[in-house]
Every structure is written in C-alpha cells, then in structure tokens.
Amino acid sequence: MKKFAVCIATAILISMAGFPLFGQQYVAPPVEISQSKVRIADVVYYEHTVKAKQTLFSICKAYNVTVTEVTELNADKLSDGLKIGDVLLIPVRVEAPSTEEETNAEKEKSGLGKVASAAGEKISTFIESLKGPEDTRMENNTKGYIFHRVKWFENMSVIARRYGVEAEAIRTLNGLADNTLTAGQMLKIPMDVLQGGTGDWSESGVDTTTAITATLSPALSDTTATVAVSRREPVLRPYKGAQNIGLILPFSSRQANPSTNFLDFYSGVLMALDEIKETGTDVNLTVIDASLYDSAEDLVEECDLQRFDFVIGHFGADDLEVVASCCDTLCIPLVSPMDQKLEPAALTHPFLISIPVGQSALSYSLAESLDYESERDNVLLVYENGDGESALCRSISSSLDSIGIPFTRFSYGIVSGRNISSTLKGHLSSSRRNHVIVCSEKESFASDAYRNLSLLAREYDLTVYGNHKIRSFESIEQEALQATKAHFSLGFYVDYTDDATKSFVRKYRALFASEPTPFAFQGHDTALYMMKAMKQFGPDMIYGLESFHCNLLQLSIELERMDGSSSGLVNHGSRDIIYRDRFTVECN
C-alpha cells in the first residue's frame, strides 16, 4: 500500500511542480540535419553523429544523398557496420562560409563546466576527441600527406608530437606563418617525414594547460574564445541564475514494481527544490531513469550531460567509472549520494563528490569523541577471538594511533561470554574513566559484549563505543545502551525532536501520504546542499565546497579532497549520538 501511495503522491507533486518523473523514456530521435560542418580540400561536409535506432538509409534520406556516396566517403568507419556515436562525413551541396567570416557573437560563458560548450563540440565527439586525435585520411595517400582536424585542446606542438613530425614541416606544407591554429581547422600532415607518432596525445608529454585561441567554424559556434583547459583561476561568487540539475537514478519505471527507495529519494529532492525556490532560486530539474539505457555509454551519449551545472546519480562501480570520466571531461560535479563502497573512485575522478561517509572517517570521528586525557582515561578495544585484524579493528586502531591515544586489547570467544565478566574487570580501572570500544559487526558478539559491559557499568565509570551497525541489532536491549552511555559516530541520523525535521515530516505527509524514509531525507539533504553551494559559489562551486557547510536534516556534510588537487571530494562529516537516561538520545 505504501508503494502505491508513494507512486501516486509523487505523480501528483510532479504535475504540480512541472517536473515529469519519467519524461526521459526513450523515443527514437528523428534524423536532424547536423549543425556541424568541416571543410576538407575545399569541399564542405556535414559531420553527423549517429544516434540510437538511426539507419544508414534514414540518414541518407534526411540529407538527400545516396547510400553509395556516404558508404564510400566513410568506408573506414562503416567497415564494421553503423554504430551509435559514429561521426559520418556527408557531402553538403552548398558551400558554407569560411571561419574567417565569423564574428564574436556569443557572450563568454562562466564556469569550468562550460569549456566543452564553448568549444562547440557535441558530447560524443568531445569525449571521443579526448581518447586521442585521429587523422582524417580523406585524400589519396599518394599525395604525400594526410589530413588532421584540429581539436579545441590542441596546439601545434601537440599535433607534431602526435605524428612524430617537426612543427616546421607542418607549417611549410600548410603555408602557415606561425604556430597559431584554430579549432576545426584542417591540417595537412606530411607523410614523407612521419616518424611514427604515439597515437595518444595524453602520453606524449603534452602540456594540456596551454591556452589556445579557438576561432570556431560556423557549424560549431559563433564564438571566438580563448579556451584554457586548466589552471584557470576559479571564480567563486554568488550566483543568481537558474540552476540546471540532472538527477539520474535506476527507477526501473518499466517494471511492475518501480524502486520505492529511489522514488523516496526523488521525493526528497522535490522537497529540497520547493525549499530552495522559496529563497528566489530558479531550478530546472531533469530526471533520467538510468534503467532505460542498455549501458552507461548509451546514457552518456544520449543525455547530453554538458547541459547540467551538476549531476546527482546512483551507479554501480563500472557505470560510475564511465559517467565520472565524462563529468571530469566536461568539468561538471557528479554527486554519488548513497553507496559508500564507491568512495575510492574519488581518488581518480576530480569532479566526483562522494556523500556517504566511509568507515575510516567514522572510525576517526569515534576516536576523536573519546575526549581523551592521559591522567584520567583508560581505553580498551574489545573484539571476538580471531577478529583482531579485521577491517573494523584495523580502522579503529589506526585512528587511535593517529590521534595519539594509547589503548589495550581484550578478546574472547562467544562461548565463554557468560563467564567473562571477572576477566574483563582486569582490563578496567576503578579510579579512571573507562572508554570501551566494541570492535565487531557481528550481532551475536556485540549483544553479548554490551550485556557484560552493562552489568559492569554499575561498578565502573564506563562509556561504550560501537560501530554504527550495532544500533540496528535487535538483540541489544535499550537498557544496555543506556547503562553503558552507548556512543556511536554515524554517517546519517535524523533528530525527530528538531523543529526543521518536524516541519519536513509534516509537509512530506501532506504531499505523499506516507512517512519519509532515510532515502527521502538523503535526497533532500544531498540536493539542498548542492543547490545552496551553487547559489553561494556559482558554476565553479566545486572549488569552494571544502569550506561550505549548511544545516541539514539527516547528514553532516564536510567535504575534503581525497588525495590532493587531482582527486575528488569525500564526506568526512558524521553525527555523534549518546544514549542517556529515560530513553533519550543526545545528538551532537
């Protein structure tokens, strides 16, 4: 019944807010005449990017050319059949104006996220270009040269290294006075002096931070702009424009039972949108059901991610690699909101933001919460026999060591649990505060440890710390948690006594006729944090997130670079809760 209510209520809210839930269900695109053209040996060609369900016949019909013409012109690409993403050359019947006739018409766009747009390349050709420039062999090789179309990120030294040719030889053959190049320009590369280039510009030692003057062809843009690939100083300033957000989740909308968890997450996002709009911020939300695409490559190809200021999306590890690579290329923040196992991906993706808090950060937060003083504190790690080298024990031990907190260890077997109290006493101090950390994710052992420690709490000044999973163990009685003043560092926690939480719950009930789940709170907090950051810092907000904080309902987001400037951002924020008397919980 809850699933049905959530689905119906979500649909109602969408119709009110104007956001179509599954508006992105795939419809075969019509064959549209490309706006991208290239001039080769005084002949102008369209550059047509093949989309899903297009055929060679439908493409040729749209351009009013014969299949034979296109097949002969693109023989190298069509040898293995027509594939999505292929860029076909199609003859134009009328000459297009030269690039020299173009004027500076387009206003300069702000934000690193607009680099690809400024270069005027569609996402498929833009990403393909980063894999390594390919020579365009449109002339008979007996003429002694091949053609290369200049990409927006290339300069003369890039191309010379690519083909193993002296820059002077390229200038001479093309009648160039200097090394100035323009994006889309066709260069003749002399074959008689080719020395076997690397075939991969990224491994040739090329300085990709060089700024190039990109006078774009009519088909690409009306802009003449200097494009800096990197090292541009980010501009962080309040932003009043509309925010364009992409939300990509596997809703499974075509199945009989769509994912209620992701519907709840989406409902939380809509709540955040309503909240940010009350501050006068305009937001355009595009919802994409990832389950409608056969692969992440298809999704990236067809969804044109460069139109977004940032993307919130849940993916498996392999799909995340594909989408994160695309967002890195386009300089668009990609927020991974749910799976902490994906946090390591931020090590190699500078525009990836991982929201779930990892175990190492939670262990460090737990260690910090001990408020250790050497003269009056005794710290003890308790774990089951054989678990001393478990990932959890290593993580907590490492955190204690890094802070400089000395500790002792005690382990026992679950079979001897009933008779362990007297032995455990030997590791506790009657004159000092005892901080006992239960290092276990096993319910049976954790339950036994808390039972024993709750009995000893009558004799000792005792506080027990545990892994976040322990809170969900049904066999641990609340009385034991209170007796031991149980302390947990959590990646997420909702304080239902907070006024803001109460207001959220009331609104959620009114809109969806159900209770908000942790997924709804997660969607609200993730979207609200990013939208507020965008409002404060603008399109370059990723460079200001480490210093940005705001009050949220379930999360504490404190972002840090994982490993220097070349890595992405991970969340180290946690919520500390302590069990108090009279069945109360204190949240810090």
Q: Determine the Cα–Cα distance for residues 52 and 533; give it in Å rounded to an integer.
A: 36
Task: Tell me which long-range contacts 449-455 makes (C-beta under 8 A, separation of at least 24).
Answer: 449/382, 449/417, 450/476, 450/480, 450/481, 450/484, 450/486, 451/417, 451/480, 452/417, 452/420, 452/421, 452/424, 453/382, 453/424, 453/480, 453/484, 454/479, 454/480, 454/483, 454/484, 455/421
3-class SS of residue 446: helix
In contact, 495 and 576? CB cutoff 8 Å: no
Q: In this predicted model, what pLDDT tens digit does every residue of 190-218 receive, in sequence order? A: 876 544 433 332 333 323 222 222 222 22
Cα dihedral 224, 114, 228, 153 in deg (nearest 10): -80
Query: What are the pLDDT digits (tens) for 430-487?
Result: 999 999 999 999 999 999 999 999 999 999 999 999 988 898 898 998 899 999 999 9
Number of residues that this document lists for the chain: 588
Is the Cβ–Cβ distance between 497 and 473 less than 8 Å? no
The predicted structure's pLDDT at residue 97 = 39
Half-sphere exposure of 94 (CA within 13 A, CB side): 3
CA nearest 404: which of 439, 373, 383, 431? 373
pLDDT at 223: 29
Handedness of CA 167, 173, 174, 178 (dihedral sign): positive
DSSP H or E run through 67: helix 67-73
Give pLDDT, residue 350.
94
CA distance 90 to 43: 11
pLDDT value at position 311? Answer: 98
Tens-digit pLDDT profile for the chain (588 aa)? 444 343 434 443 443 444 333 333 334 457 888 877 776 655 778 888 888 778 888 888 888 888 878 887 887 777 777 888 888 888 886 543 343 333 333 323 322 223 233 333 333 333 333 333 333 333 334 457 777 777 655 678 768 877 778 888 899 888 898 888 876 677 888 876 544 433 332 333 323 222 222 222 222 223 223 333 334 578 899 999 999 999 999 998 888 888 899 999 999 999 999 999 999 999 999 999 999 998 999 899 888 898 999 999 999 999 999 999 999 988 999 999 999 899 999 999 999 999 999 999 999 999 999 989 988 999 999 999 999 999 999 999 999 999 999 999 999 998 876 788 889 999 999 999 999 999 999 999 999 999 999 999 999 999 999 988 898 898 998 899 999 999 999 999 999 999 999 999 999 999 999 999 999 999 999 999 999 999 999 999 999 999 999 999 999 999 999 887 789 999 999 999 999 887 789 988
pTM of the model: 0.62
